[in-house]
Structure 1
Amino acid sequence: MSAGLLLQYVVIGLAVLASVWIVLRKLARKTTNRWMAAASIHLSQPGRGALVRAFGRRLQPKEATGDCSDGCSTCGACGPKPPAAARPGEPMPLEFRPRR
């Protein structure tokens, strides 16, 4: 195997890993936050180098701020909003409800 081919495999592997991480962050947010918190605690322990501790602090997931703009959905108040009333002459948007 030539060095160019090995470099190509490494670049493609890094691109695949980055895309998998992005998909996990979007679809499994709580799980990845838990993983990042565990890694942050492990890296931020006293006795580690300053760069490692700084990286551990950077990995720490952001906490919910408690206002409705952060999208944490812990209180349930950020759910879907009901459709606004249509102006006269405009059709109302369709609402699909599950069968009972």
Structure 2
Amino acid sequence: MSANLLIQYAVIALLVAASLWQALRKLAPKTASRVQAGAAAPLLRPQRGAFAQRVGRWIQPKGATGDCGDGCGTCGTCGPSDAPAEQTVTFHPPRK
């Protein structure tokens, strides 16, 4: 196997892994958050080095505060409340 082919397979594997992670975060956000917290927990221990703790804080999922400012979007109530639920589409004849 040549080095170019190995690099190509590595890039494809990274892209597939990133796509799977995004799909997991979109379809199962609680599971993805638990996986992130589980990966970050060993890195956040006090006996770990500064770099490992920095990576652990970066990996650690953001905590939802329960207000509309955290951007979780799970309740569907965030956003403008005065917006109509339905909008009517009006077609106009072309101008001559």
Q: What's the TM-score once normalised by structure 2's chain length?
A: 0.71
Q: How far is 1:12 from its partner?
A: 0.8
Return the TM-score normalized by structure 1: 0.69
Q: Which amino acid aligns with 1:78?
A: T
8 Å CA contact 1:44–1:52 kept in 2: the answer is yes
After the TM superposition, which residues 80-95 of structure 1 pair with which residues of structure 2 at under 5 Å, given as runs? Answer: 84=84
Hey, what does 1:38 align to over in structure 2? 38
Equivalent-residue separation in structure 1 for 2:54 and 2:68 (angstroms): 30
- How far the C-alpha of 1:66 sits from its partner, in A, is 2.2
Q: Deviations over 1:5-40 (max 9, x none)?
A: 111111111111111111111111000101111111
**Could you say what secondary structure the match of 2:45 adopts?**
coil
How many aligned positions are there? 84
Q: Deviations over 1:36-90 (max 9, x none)?
A: 11111111011111111111011111111221343354xx6839x8x9488xxx6
User: Structure 2: which 5+ residue stretches go unaligned?
Assistant: 90-96
Distance 1:46 1:53 in 2: 8
- Relative to structure 1, the CA distance from residue 78 to residue 46 in structure 2 (aligned partners, 3 Å threshold; closer, same or farther) is same
Deviating above 3 A after TM superposition, structure 1's stretches of 4 or more consecutive aligned residues are: 83-86
Give matches, 1:74-85, under 5 Å. Answer: 78=77, 84=84
Q: Report the Cα distance in structure 1 between the residues aligned to 2:26 and 2:77, rounded to whole angstroms.
A: 18
Taking only the aligned residue pairs, the percentage that are identical comes to: 48
- Give 5+ residue unaligned stretches, structure 1: 92-100
CA distance in 2, matches of 1:44, 1:84: 46
